[in-house]
Amino acid sequence: MDYPSACPHPPSLRLLVRIVLLIASLALPSAASAQTTANGTIEGRVLNTRNGEFLENARITIEGTALVVLTDSTGQYRLLNVPVGVAKVRAFFTGLEVLTETVVVTGGSVVQRDFNLGDAGKTPAAGKDSGTVKLAQFVVGASKEMDGAAIAINEQRFASNMINVVSADEFGHVAEGNVGEFLKFVPGMAMDTGGGVSRSISIGGAPPDNVPVSIGGFSVASATSGGAGRRVELEQISINNISRIEIYHSPTPESPGSALAGGVNMVPRGAFERSKPQFNWSAFLMFRDAEKQLHKTPGPTRDETYKIRPGFDFSYVVPVNQRFGFTVSGANSSQYTLQDYFSNTWRGAGNTTSAPVVVAGVTVPGALPDTSPDKPYLSNFSISDGNFPSIRNSLGTTADFKLTRNDMISFSFQYAQFYSDFNNRTQTFNIARVLPGQFDARTVNGDVGQGSILSNAGAAEKSGTTYTPSLIWRHNGPTWKADFGGSYSHATNHYRDIDKGYFRTTSAHRTDVTVAFNEITATRPGIITVRDGGSGRLVDPYSLTDYVINSGTSTPTEGADLQRGLKANLARDFQVRGVPFTIKVGAALQQWQRDMNGRSDTYSFVGADKIRTTTPSAAVVDDGAAIILDQGFSQRFAPWGFPRVQYPDGYALWELYNQHPEYFTRDLNAEYRNAVLRSKYAAEVVSAVYIRGDTSLFGGRLKLVG
């Protein structure tokens, strides 16, 4: 629908104003009623004495009444309209002792009463009413993980929707600080991995593009590795700066519309979550069990590197006084990761075969004959020796300032940097043709001269940064609860190769060979034999002297993502004949931009004689791949029981190109079209308003949200 340009306000804003006026009209009778009854107010804070943290969502009740309230993020609570007289106030938090205090309330007064909750099961304090003498509990110790689990259970207990809440302390130290390695333990979640690293989230079967991820309630930017969708990759989000993570499985009106099966919200550390300053730090070494050497060893690049790498993290929470506090946290980690894998291509078990054809009355068998699923045969096998270091740096800070007893401004800044220099080497054996009767599940004999072998090196430098500042004002008054804030999030992602001195992909190959697999198992062929198709002599597939240079490829990619958002919420609590009722309205404005560009340039090798070949021969002597041998990495033993394999070196091939560019040919037309296809831009602006109603029945045992 089109609206006149003279319209001063968009329809969504007019609707929000009408909703606010409706709530205000409903609030006036309640306010007048509250003044005539002249009841009192009880307020205070709830502290966990075990760790010095103020508790969010501790449940405060008045015995014999329907009055129930939960503490806010600073442990603060306020009970309104408390009947005059003696009131028994009960404080409950999962995993801690339940305390009941007697409070005398007078009309129009505000009574301050704080609660200090300790371990459940301890002996009641002196003077407390207890009809049973109980021995003190023998406690061996308490841990951050136990406190974290209690926070998670308590959050889920009192949430108005299906939600999993996980404290950042619940699982202890998280290697590399990758938040994905933390989230994969949460029920109902699946992590999509890439390069051995947890990258993106799937909830309830919904794809990552439909799982929104936010920090402090604001969308976080993510310059993904490819595509212009809404996918958020986790490599540039660090858990060190996070207090807890909320995973909601049943969206509420405040949730983004893209949340098909739920979403993830990460809550930054807060200054008023503790009663006194606390500084935590740790230093550590990280290594893989397969690489435990203290000295430098080959890989992942041309130079040898250390595989045991140091790291550290810290967090500092400082409540300076009753009105101001701040937090600072940071981390540095460096981890060496192995990425070894093999790939089998079985015909008759999901991969295509070729039926025989009749030519001039003669039946010609297909290159890869048909077979039944119970009699598959192996046609391709590849083994990859991959490894890369990943370096993650993060810094987070928050500042909380209480303007009044009911108003607080919170500023948050989250920064993360990710770097990886990966290099994967792959050896491939290909049986392109096999005759009928020359295969079974244990043995495959390729047709003479129809096979090929390939030695490949794939390398790139991946780096990127993400930063997210946000500012929010919160009002937690006796009548109204409101918040208003905005966020700006920006992320970059870079893949580099030739500007770092090497090709993204470097390949050497050989055709016209006969490949045979013997003693085949579910993992690999026990014996692989390669022979020259013409002479029948044995070919060493692990030596580059039997290969020719194929090509080098450069695939640089640049990505940037921007998220800007505003949101506002306003809520009011009511009592309708003793039944608590809440009306909440809100509005949001979100702008998103993602810009990506890249290239894919192929440098085909033709040598000094300008003749491209795929097989070494006495006539063509300038295409041999031995001149680009990776001297360092080829000293490693390949995984899965294979010997040392000679791989091509992307550095050496790039140096050869710079010395002799005439040895290579390029298709500029194809390069231009590739650049156009890789240029992607997406933008959207989403505005929304909502109204929500909540009520609790049967003493809070039944909650209704609409």
Of the ranges 187-196, 220-229, 249-258, 548-557, which is most confident?
Answer: 548-557
Reply yes or no on whether the pLDDT at 154 is more than 90: no
Peptide bond before residue 376 is cis, with ω within 30 degrees of 0? no
Cα(75)–Cα(271) distance, rounded to whole angstroms? 12
Lowest mean pLDDT among 62-66, 168-172, 183-187, 677-681: 168-172
Reply yes or no on whether the pLDDT at 127 is more than 50: no
pLDDT recorded at residue 611? 87
The pLDDT-based confidence of 25 (bands split at 50, 70, 90) is low
The pLDDT-based confidence of 137 (bands split at 50, 70, 90) is low
Q: Kindly calculate the radius of gyration of the chain based on its CA atoms and give it in whole angstroms.
A: 33
Cα(263)–Cα(218) distance, rounded to whole angstroms? 12
Cα(166)–Cα(185) distance, rounded to whole angstroms? 10
pLDDT recorded at residue 11? 54
pLDDT tens digits, one per residue of 681-702: 989 999 999 999 988 887 667 8
3-class state of residue 35 by DSSP:
helix
pLDDT recorded at residue 54? 86
Kindly list the distances between the CA atom of residue 492 and the CA atoms of 243, 288, 330, 587, in Å, as whole numbers in the listed order. Answer: 25, 29, 20, 29
Contact, 592 vs 692, CB < 8 A? Answer: no
Cα(418)–Cα(87) distance, rounded to whole angstroms? 55
Reply yes or no on whether the pLDDT at 140 is more than 70: no
Cα(682)–Cα(77) distance, rounded to whole angstroms? 44
More confident residue, 689 or 168: 689
3-class state of residue 12 by DSSP:
helix
Cα(332)–Cα(283) distance, rounded to whole angstroms? 10
Lowest mean pLDDT among 146-150, 164-168, 563-567: 146-150
- Judged on CB neighbours under 10 Å (0-12, 13-18, 19+), 279 is exposed
The pLDDT-based confidence of 618 (bands split at 50, 70, 90) is low
Q: Is the dihedral of CA 605, 609, 612, 613 positive or negative?
A: negative
Kindly list the distances between the CA atom of residue 143 and the CA atoms of 121, 140, 165, 166, 298, in Å, as whole numbers in the listed order. Answer: 17, 10, 18, 15, 41
pLDDT recorded at residue 686? 92
Cα(98)–Cα(26) distance, rounded to whole angstroms? 36
Q: How many CB atoms sit inside 10 A of residue 538's CB?
A: 11
Question: Average pLDDT, whole number, for the chain?
Answer: 84
Reply yes or no on whether the pLDDT at 153 is more than 60: yes
pLDDT tens digits, one per residue of 655-670: 999 999 999 999 999 9
Instruction: Give the residue-averaged pLDDT of 100-129.
Output: 74
More confident residue, 405 or 135: 405
Q: What is the per-residue burial (b if ≥16 Cβ within 10 Å, else e) of 444-454?
A: bbbbbbbbbbb
pLDDT recorded at residue 32? 39
pLDDT recorded at residue 251? 79
Contact, 118 vs 97, CB < 8 A? Answer: yes
Cα(286)–Cα(389) distance, rounded to whole angstroms? 11
Instruction: Give every strand in the sheet of 218-219, ordered side by side.
Output: 163-167, 242-248, 263-268, 213-215, 218-219
Cα(246)–Cα(358) distance, rounded to whole angstroms? 64
Cα(591)–Cα(588) distance, rounded to whole angstroms? 10
Tokens representing 498 are 């030739």
Strands 357-359, 189-194: parallel, antiparallel or unpaired by DSSP?
Answer: unpaired
* Among 146, 196, 202, CA closest to 171: 146
pLDDT tens digits, one per residue of 259-305: 888 889 988 888 888 888 989 888 988 888 888 888 898 888 888 88
Instruction: Give the residue-averaged pLDDT of 60-76.
Output: 85
Sorted by sequence, the CB contacts under 8 Å of residue 43 that are 6+ apart come out as 76, 77, 78, 79, 110, 111, 112, 113
pLDDT tens digits, one per residue of 431-481: 999 998 899 999 999 999 999 999 999 999 999 999 999 999 999 888 889
Q: What percent of the chain lies above the pLDDT cut of 70?
A: 86
3-class state of residue 628 by DSSP:
helix
Reply yes or no on whether the pLDDT at 124 is more than 60: no
* Among 598, 427, 426, CA closest to 497: 598
Reply yes or no on whether the pLDDT at 176 is more than 60: yes
Contact, 317 vs 287, CB < 8 A? Answer: no
Residues in the chain: 706
Strands 505-520, 444-445: parallel, antiparallel or unpaired by DSSP?
Answer: antiparallel
Reply yes or no on whether the pLDDT at 557 is more than 90: yes
pLDDT recorded at residue 374? 86
* Among 198, 230, 238, 228, CA closest to 213: 230
The pLDDT-based confidence of 21 (bands split at 50, 70, 90) is low
Tokens representing 404 are 């009044």
* Among 545, 653, 646, CA closest to 298: 646
Sorted by sequence, the CB contacts under 8 Å of residue 426 that are 6+ apart come out as 382, 383, 384, 385, 454, 455, 456, 457, 458
Report DSSP letters for 168-225, one per residue.
TTTT---GGGBHHHHHTTSTTEEEEEETTEEEEEEETTB-GGG--EEETTEE-----S
Kindly list the distances between the CA atom of residue 170 and the CA atoms of 318, 371, 401, in Å, as whole numbers in the listed order. Answer: 22, 52, 28
pLDDT tens digits, one per residue of 338-378: 888 899 999 987 788 887 777 777 777 788 998 888 889 99
pLDDT tens digits, one per residue of 502-555: 999 999 999 999 999 999 998 899 999 999 998 999 999 999 999 999 999 999
Sorted by sequence, the CB contacts under 8 Å of residue 159 that are 6+ apart come out as 165
What residues form DSSP beta bridges with 516? 445, 529
Instruction: Give the residue-averaged pLDDT of 302-316.
Output: 89
Instruction: Give the residue-averaged pLDDT of 640-659.
Output: 94
